[in-house]
Amino acid sequence: MQHLTYFENNSTAIITFSRSHALNALNSEVFAELNALLNKIEKSDHIRVVVLTGKGKAFIAGADIAEMKGKTEKEAKEFSKTGQDTFRRIENMTIPFIGAINGFALGGGLETALACDFLVASDKAKFSAPEVNLGLIPGFAGTQRLVRAIGANNARFYLFTAHMFDAYDAQRMGLVQQIVPDDELMNETMKIADLIATKGPSACKALKGVVQEGLHHGIDAGIKKENTVFGSLFNTEAKEGMLAFLEKRQAKW
Ligand code: CO8
């Protein structure tokens, strides 16, 4: 791997965007490497949480403008589709993704963060959708996910103005769930990942799909799926989870 680093800590996979000379900008090679790592994670029988973070002062400063500028319309659409498909893939995986936002999350970097299940941010993190500065719009589904994450008017305000906003603004709008001192980012993120790994594995595996179902196919579809999954968990670990509670002990999954 040239642009990403991969590390496992217990049941957490940590993927670090490591093109710090270009503030971790996303090019075609980064997407190829990211998809190769997603293949590996999908095959793993022990990874329960994935953390995405960046090396240096940026999480990701967007799509790689140097690579993008020479593209034809067809090539631009293909590149956009690669990013859209990769982030949709992340969203559709059964493993939760935590974005540990260490610095600039701009353009395609914000779109990467939006594909995560929730975000822990350094108090130095900065977000923006600066595409209009380049005569562009987001191309990795940011137009769709930003609206869902922070609401339509907030999204339109930041999409049209390209204003940068900090971790506190992001938290106020619901984009960031926890803000931590910069040097505590990975420690605090790992505490959350480790906590998730103590919970019912089948429940956690099913949870993301149930939430996604309602978000993308409407509340009735989501409620129906919740009912199916809720019932199916009684054939797996739920009996042990409830028994452990009643017996005042830790569940043995
Ligand atoms: N692409 C390529 N290189 C970049 C990028 C980028 N997005 N961002 C930074 N770099 C490079 C700089 O060119 C610079 O390189 P060099 O040292 O060779 O000159 C190096 O990283 C360091 O950057 P700066 O010197 O600019 O660092 P500063 O601390 O002064 O500024 C900023 C940091 C504010 C983050 C600044 O670098 C910046 O504004 N970057 C561009 C941010 C941006 O516009 N991002 C959006 C890109 S468009 C996008 O993401 C659309 C996604 C959908 C694409 C759809 C496919 C077609």
Q: Per the structure, how many domains does the chain have?
A: 2
For a mutational test of ligand 1's pocket, the pick from 19, 20, 64, 65, i.e. the residue with the most ligand atoms closer than 8 A to its C-beta, is 65
Q: Could you give the count of Cα atoms lying within 13 Å of 166 in the half-sphere of its Cβ?
A: 6
- How much is the ipTM here? 0.98
> DSSP 3-state assignment of 117?
coil
Which residue, 162, 195, 203, is CA-closest to 178?
Answer: 195
Q: pLDDT tens across 154-173, in order? A: 999 999 999 999 999 999 99
Residue 230 has a CB neighbour count (10 Å cut-off) of 13
Q: pLDDT tens across 90-148, in order? A: 999 999 999 999 999 999 999 999 999 999 999 999 999 999 999 999 999 999 999 99
The mean pLDDT value for 34-60 works out to 97
pLDDT at 27: 97
Q: Are residues 144 and 217 in the same domain?
A: no
Q: Are residues 56 and 139 in the same domain?
A: yes
Q: pLDDT tens across 219-240, in order? A: 999 999 999 999 999 998 999 9
Residue 208 lies in domain:
201-246
Per-position DSSP letters for 99-160, written without gaps between them:
EEE-SEEETHHHHHHHHSSEEEEETT-EEE-GGGGGT----SSHHHHHHHHH-HHHHHHHHH
pLDDT at 132: 98
Question: What is the rounded radius of gyration, in angstroms, for the C-alpha atoms of the chain?
Answer: 19
Q: Are residues 161 and 217 in the same domain?
A: no
Cα 113 vs. chain centroid, distance in angstroms?
5
Ligand 1 centroid – CA 58 distance (Å):
10
Alpha carbon separation from 134 to 49, 163, 230, 252 (Å, rounded): 35, 14, 47, 54
Q: Are residues 36 and 134 in the same domain?
A: yes
Q: Is 25 in the pocket of ligand 1 (CB under 6 A)?
A: yes
Q: Which two tokens stand for residue 38?
A: 């997603």
The mean pLDDT value for 69-78 works out to 97
Residue 49 lies in a domain: yes
Q: Are residues 62 and 161 in the same domain?
A: yes
Judge contact between 177 and 183, C-beta under 8 A: no
Identify the residue whose C-alpha is closest to ligand 1 atom 10. 22
Residue 99 lies in a domain: yes
Active site residue 131: yes
Atom of ligand 1 nearest to the CA of 62: 50
pLDDT at 133: 98
Q: Are residues 114 and 154 in the same domain?
A: yes
pLDDT at 119: 98
Cα 67 vs. chain centroid, distance in angstroms?
24
pLDDT at 79: 98
Choose the final residue of a domain: 178, 197, 216. Answer: 197
Q: What percent of the chain has pLDDT over 90?
A: 99
DSSP state of 28: H
Domain CATH for 60: 3.90.226.10
Residues in contact with 91: Cβ distance below 8 Å, sequence separation at least 6, in sequence order: 115, 212
pLDDT at 60: 98
Q: pLDDT tens across 1-39, in order? A: 999 999 999 999 999 999 999 999 999 999 999 999 999
